[in-house]
Amino acid sequence: MKCSIPKGTRDFLPQEMARRNYIFDTIRDVFRLFAFEPIETPALENLSTLMGKYGEEGDQLLFKVLNSGDFMKDVDFSDDYHRVAPRICDRGLRYDLTVPFARFVVQHRDSITLPFRRYQLQPVWRADRPQKGRYREFYQCDADMIGSDSLLNELELVQMIDEVFARLGISVTLKVNNRKILAGIADLIGAPDKLVDITTAIDKLDKIGLDAVRGELAERGLTDDQITALDPVFTLTGTPQQKLDQLRDLFGHTSETGLKGVDECATLFGLIADASPRCVVELDLTLARGLNYYTGAIFEVKANNVTMGSICGGGRYDNLTGIFGMPGVSGVGISFGADRIYDVLTELDAFPTTLSSSARVLFTNFGPAEQAYALRCAAELRRKGVPTLVYPDTAKLKKQMEYANRRGVAFVVFVGEQEIKDSTLTIKNMTTGEQQTLPAQQAIATLAE
């Protein structure tokens, strides 16, 4: 039988895991810097929790899990799929971390303090078509603030994005928009009931181009006049403030919601200007983010000079906990796509070279006496926090040195009869080839520097 794994999933070798952990640790450190607290939620959620939160296309990408037991008994499979599915599966793998978080907040409302700031690094699953940068199983690294309407929360998310990518050495552009502005545009063209259709189509602009977006809008029931009236969304130019001023004139007295979105964006860009982030921040009126639960500011991050989709995104959601019986609690959050960030760092060749080895020191093993001496010295090094190996078998030096080279070990420590007799250690620097014999305690201190 040929060994394989499902398409859209991956195994990770030790070097790959070292690089992934570098990304996770960097993001986690920034989350902690901004005083977020960790939580976890289960991979499986009830389908009633997940369905209807991601839009029609998102619902189709949910991995549904068959019920246990005799779940097919009395099921008429000739019936409509939407009537059959709930009878044979009532659970699914989580599509993202935000909807489970909303469920978590409602379920544990008596155990948390609002405003609540959480971070979460866990895998999610989507029944998508695998391609570059798009997987069926991948990690999200989320940070959310819930229980506060303040735009200072959005600013902190911008600052976190800026800090994470500065630490990773990735030049990025952060695009910002507001779903209220998009709702205002829907009002402006006389199609408020088509907001979801408009945002779903516009969200594909980078992928399929303007003509294809117009075609999709037509397929979704917008008239030629309504589609033409959307042109200002695609053609406004100038600074963020100039674009917002033009939008304010366009909305006039047509859309109170749209004007509120303009005001929120103006306030946020004022806060961002005062904070002076290192990354480029743009107002992008074509940014829609197709998830239905966003109601305010929305964010998307793309790496500069790299062919890759969004590597981070998020936004404000006002009604998500209300779906689970806890209305009036607003939240805002971001999600870092660790797998896409990995691909960007790989393309840029920007991973630190020190991540390649899990062991810094290898002790040779030439027999029982040498092994015992090496084990005592290795124990001291490990107590000092130095990743250390003792070669497990008595073997020829050539074999042990080849092993050290394959593992990328920085220092090999030779332990022979003379070293035992003199209470010394002989250290070889595997990078420079330099070799020195030192008293054991001095050698250990040197290796621990």
Q: What is the pLDDT of residues 332-360, one digit of tens each?
A: 999 999 999 999 999 999 999 877 667 89
186 and 304 in contact (C-beta within 8 Å)?
no
Tell me whether residue 328 is exposed, middle or buried, using C-beta atoms within 10 angstroms of its C-beta: 0 to 12, 13 to 18, 19 or more: exposed
pTM: 0.85
pLDDT digit string (tens) for 6-30? 999 999 998 899 999 999 999 999 9
The 10s digit of each residue's pLDDT in 310-328 is: 999 999 998 888 888 898 8
- What average pLDDT does range 37-53 have in this prediction? 93
d(CA 411, CA 165): 32
> For 200-209, what is each residue's pLDDT tens digit?
787 777 778 8
Residue with tokens 């992934």: 20
Contact status, residue 400 vs residue 385, Cβ threshold 8 Å: no
pLDDT digits (tens, 9 = 90+) for 247-257: 998 888 778 99
pLDDT of residue 357: 64
Selected residue with higher pLDDT from 33 and 239: 33
Residue 399 confidence (pLDDT): 97
Q: Where in the chain is the domain with CATH 3.30.930.10?
A: 14-43+95-348
8 Å CB contact between 141 and 311: no
Mean pLDDT of 291-317: 91
Please provide the size of the chain in residues.
449
175, 202 contact by CB (below 8 A): no
- Number of Cβ within a 10 Å radius of residue 303: 24
Confidence category of residue 236, pLDDT binned at 50, 70, 90: confident
**8 A C-beta contact, residue 298 and residue 178:** yes
**What pLDDT is recorded for position 221?**
87
Residue 365: the pLDDT is: 96
The top-level CATH class assigned to 357-447 is: alpha beta
Q: pLDDT digits over 372-394, tens only?
A: 999 999 999 999 999 999 999 99
Paired residues of 144 in beta bridges? 118, 333
Cα–Cα distance, 244 to 247 (Å, whole number) = 5
If you average pLDDT over every residue of the chain, what do you get? 90
Q: Domain 14-43+95-348 is of which CATH architecture?
A: 2-Layer Sandwich (3.30)
Q: Which residue has the higher pLDDT, 1 or 403?
A: 403
Among 35, 25, 39, 352, which residue's Cα sits nearest to residue 164?
Answer: 25
Q: What is the pLDDT of residue 30?
A: 98
- pLDDT value at residue 85: 66
pLDDT digits (tens, 9 = 90+) for 63-120: 998 887 766 766 666 666 556 666 777 899 999 999 999 999 999 999 999 999 999 9
pLDDT at 290 over 90: no
pLDDT, tens only, 151-192: 999 999 999 999 999 999 999 999 999 999 988 888 888 888
Determine what percent of the chain is predicted with pLDDT higher than 90.
65
Least confident span in 31-45, 51-65, 432-446: 51-65
Tokens of residue 30, six digits: 């920034």
Q: Which of 325, 317, 326, 322 is nearest to 148 (CA)?
A: 317
How high is the pLDDT of residue 81?
A: 55
Residues of the chain with CATH 3.40.50.800: 357-447
Check: CB of residue 448 under 8 Å from CB of residue 386: yes
For the cut 80, the answer to whether the pLDDT of residue 145 exceeds it is: yes
HEC secondary structure over the chain? CCCCCCCCCCCCCHHHHHHHHHHHHHHHHHHHHCCCEECCCCCEEEHHHHCCCCHHHHHHCCCEECCCCCCCCCCCCCCCHHHHHHHHCCEEECCCCHHHHHHHHHHCCCCCCCCEEEEEEEEEECCCCCECCECCEEEEEEEEEECCCCCHHHHHHHHHHHHHHHHHCCCEEEEEEEHHHHHHHHHHCCCHHHHHHHHHHHCCHHHHCHHHHHHHHHHCCCCHHHHHHCHHHHHCCCCHHHHHHHHHHHHCCCCHHHHHHHHHHHHHHHHHHHHCCCCEEEECCCCCCCCCCCCCEEEEEEECCCCCCCCEEEEEECCCHHHHCCCCCCEEEEEEEHHHHHHHHHHHCCCCHHHHCCCCEEECCCCHHHHHHHHHHHHHHHHCCCCEEECCCCCCHHHHHHHHHHHCCCEEEECCHHHHHHCEEEEEECCCCCEEEEEHHHHHHHHCC
pLDDT at 58 over 70: yes
Backbone angles phi, psi at 164, to 5 degrees: -60, -50
Residue 414, pLDDT score:
96
Q: Looking at residues 258-282, what average pLDDT do you find? A: 96
Q: Is the pLDDT of residue 417 over 60?
A: yes
